[in-house]
Structure 1
């Protein structure tokens, strides 16, 4: 099955970040920090990738005491293939913009 269009730059950045170490389970917060996306942009991307079979999602099995379990993510074989297709396209990893410092 071929894709009708290229993924957004944000989705491509998430795929590339996950493809850097495809066997490693990653936390959403960690991914968001790496690619410069806030939760409101990141988690819909992760859900969409998971729904399309490009991403595995799992709950953390042994969270530290006092903290609820977190979701973990990693690429499936299909997700890794898609990330490899994107690799030749030179697109920068998104980084957060520095906060402006105003003279209040």
Structure 2
């Protein structure tokens, strides 16, 4: 599936491996890259849902916003735009890496 980096800081993190604004542990950065690879290699949303480590979840109160676990503390948030009527194939617009507990 397609991945679009819809945030300048995420784009900087993806291209350089670091971001001044996103002060993230190395483990989270590595998981960020691994998660992008998983999304790109997935044939359908079922492949991502089957990966229990990702914990792909729809965010409450939003229409197309989902999160994926990068660590216990951090989540990668994305807007998913469905390409097919069955909602199995999508484009992922990566929005931010959020601190799940707000610390």
Please give the TM-score of this superposition, normalised by the length of structure 2. 0.32
Larger Rg: 1
Q: Which one has the bigger helix percentage? A: 1
Structure with more contact order per residue of length (Cα contacts < 8 Å, sep ≥ 6)? 1
Decide which structure has greater strand share. 2
With structure 1 as the length reference, what TM-score do the two structures score?
0.32
